[in-house]
């Protein structure tokens, strides 16, 4: 094995791509800032208990664990920044009883890739809003998500909406156990209506609940799906409330392409209500995901309503134009000390100045800093 080889689904980011990603990162963080979101930098590693690995099966499988040689406790390398931000809101910012708007951008590490073409080291970027139960907060975050993706080169996105509350209301009414609910949650992702029906039938559920569960994989499409859901699903108050929330979101984005999927009930245990995602042309999976996760902070000592989204900044690189290296000015190594004041002036104005050692390099610069007419000039 070559010592320079990296693990599977792990890759270096080379200069052109790195310039591109850092540039779009700056723009997106600036966008977050003008919308009132404050930047936080949670640590890459924490005690594994703090990363919710023991209460979220999906997250647990993604988390890499190592022993801490200082404390003897188990450490986890973060696989998701959202729980860390919930900890910050619940504990470090507990003095604020109102709304906290927080954002972040940093690497996470997955034990296994989510798919054949995905990296194990996404550059997770996102925003979270704590302290508001109103659907208007979800709408604010969805709007910010779409603006962020547009900044990252993805203008023609499709907004996908779901609501975990629909499934959970039916599961509760049918008196399903946690184990049964989890089996159906996984099955819903495949849209296999007959498999859902067969499993529900084997549990001898009442027909009304068996039919409702088997119907969910069919309830996907455009905005008209919500009317069909109202007519065909059981008249449970929680189902009605969930559909009302979805209708409010649809009304807030009249010009946006929207896809409704009531079987979109992803396996993150901490999500509690509205689910939203964005899809871009020619991409195999969602380019951003978010949703409501009320009460997650209770694990850290303060239960708070919350909604937020995140995406892998690396995906933006696939949609952005190639980044060119800034043009540089060369200065001969023999002149460097004598020209230092001019060099500092140029660099202070954002102009790249490189030292010419007389050896070929990759700067590609044709401009030079020379002494002429008793002053330093760029030629």
Verify that 40 and 63 share a domain, yes or no. yes
> Is 158 within any annotated ligand binding site?
no
The answer to whether residue 359 sits within a structural domain is yes
Instruction: Compute how many other C-beta atoms are within 10 angstroms of the C-beta atom of residue 207.
Output: 9
Q: Where are the alpha helices (DSSP H) in the chain?
A: 15-34, 57-62, 82-87, 135-151, 164-173, 178-188, 193-202, 207-215, 225-232, 237-252, 313-316, 340-348
271-298 burial string, b = 16+ CB within 10 Å, else e?
bbbbbbbbbbeeeeebbbbbbbbbebbe
The answer to whether residue 241 sits within a structural domain is no
Q: Which domain holds residue 357?
A: 328-378
> Is 266 within any annotated ligand binding site?
yes
> Is 80 within any annotated ligand binding site?
yes
The answer to whether residue 88 sits within a structural domain is yes
Find how far residue 287's CA is from the centre of its chain. Answer: 8
> Is 13 within any annotated ligand binding site?
no
Position 259 scores a pLDDT of: 96
Verify that 84 and 151 share a domain, yes or no. yes
Specify the pTM. 0.90
Position 1 scores a pLDDT of: 60
The answer to whether residue 268 sits within a structural domain is no
> Is 81 within any annotated ligand binding site?
yes
Position 182 scores a pLDDT of: 84
Q: Each residue's pLDDT tens digit in the chain (379 positions)?
A: 677 889 899 888 888 888 889 989 999 999 999 999 999 999 999 998 888 766 777 788 889 999 999 999 999 999 999 999 999 999 888 888 899 999 999 999 999 988 887 889 999 999 999 999 999 999 999 999 999 999 998 988 999 999 999 999 999 999 999 889 888 888 887 888 899 999 999 999 999 999 999 999 999 999 999 999 999 999 999 999 999 999 999 999 999 999 999 987 665 667 889 999 999 988 878 999 999 999 888 888 889 999 999 999 988 877 777 777 888 999 999 999 999 999 999 999 999 999 999 887 777 678 999 999 899 999 9
Count of structural domains, the chain: 2
The answer to whether residue 310 sits within a structural domain is yes
Residues in the chain: 379
Verify that 344 and 286 share a domain, yes or no. no
Verify that 320 and 363 share a domain, yes or no. no
Verify that 290 and 337 share a domain, yes or no. no
Position 361 scores a pLDDT of: 75
The answer to whether residue 205 sits within a structural domain is no
Verify that 341 and 293 share a domain, yes or no. no
Residue 25 is part of a domain; what is its CATH number? 3.30.930.10
Verify that 316 and 365 share a domain, yes or no. no
Q: What does DSSP say about strands 258-261 and 306-312: parallel, antiparallel, or unpaired?
A: unpaired
CB of 13 within 8 A of CB of 21?
A: yes
The answer to whether residue 176 sits within a structural domain is no
The answer to whether residue 365 sits within a structural domain is yes
> Is 124 within any annotated ligand binding site?
yes
Position 268 scores a pLDDT of: 60
Verify that 287 and 354 share a domain, yes or no. no
């Amino acid at each position: 094995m070559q010592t320079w080889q990296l693990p599977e689904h792990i890759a270096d980011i080379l200069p052109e791509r790195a310039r591109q990603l850092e540039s779009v990162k700056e723009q997106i963080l600036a966008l977050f800032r003008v919308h009132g979101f404050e930047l936080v930098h949670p640590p890459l590693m924490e005690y594994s208990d703090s990363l919710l690995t023991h209460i979220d099966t999906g997250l647990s499988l993604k988390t890499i664990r190592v022993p801490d040689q200082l404390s003897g406790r188990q450490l986890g390398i973060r696989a998701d920044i959202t729980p860390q931000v919930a900890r910050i809101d619940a504990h470090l910012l507990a003095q604020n009883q109102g709304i906290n708007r927080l954002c972040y951008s940093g690497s996470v590490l997955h034990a296994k890739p989510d798919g054949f073409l995905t990296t194990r080291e996404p550059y997770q970027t996102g925003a979270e809003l704590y302290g508001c139960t109103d659907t208007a907060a979800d709408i604010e975050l969805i709007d910010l998500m779409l603006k962020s993706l547009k900044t990252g080169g993805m203008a023609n996105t499709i907004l996908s909406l779901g609501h975990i509350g629909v499934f959970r209301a039916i599961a509760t009414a049918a008196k399903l156990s946690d184990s049964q609910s989890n089996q159906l949650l996984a099955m819903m992702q495949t849209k296999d209506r007959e498999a859902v029906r067969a499993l529900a039938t084997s549990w001898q559920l009442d027909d009304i609940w068996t039919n409702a569960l088997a119907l969910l994989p069919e309830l996907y499409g455009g905005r008209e799906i919500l009317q069909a859901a109202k007519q065909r699903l059981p008249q449970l108050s929680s189902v009605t409330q969930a559909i009302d929330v979805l209708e409010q979101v649809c009304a807030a984005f009249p010009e946006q392409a929207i896809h409704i999927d009531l079987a979109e009930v992803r396996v993150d245990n901490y999500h509690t209500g509205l689910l939203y995602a964005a899809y871009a042309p020619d991409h195999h999976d969602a380019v951003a995901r978010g949703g409501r996760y009320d009460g997650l902070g209770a694990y850290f000592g303060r239960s708070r309503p919350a909604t937020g989204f995140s995406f892998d900044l690396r995906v933006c690189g696939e949609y952005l134009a190639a980044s060119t290296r800034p043009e540089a000015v060369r200065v001969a190594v023999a002149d460097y000390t004598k020209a230092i004041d001019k060099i500092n002036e140029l660099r202070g104005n954002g102009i790249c100045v490189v030292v010419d050692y007389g050896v070929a390099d990759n700067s590609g610069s044709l401009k030079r800093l020379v002494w002429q007419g008793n002053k330093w000039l760029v030629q």
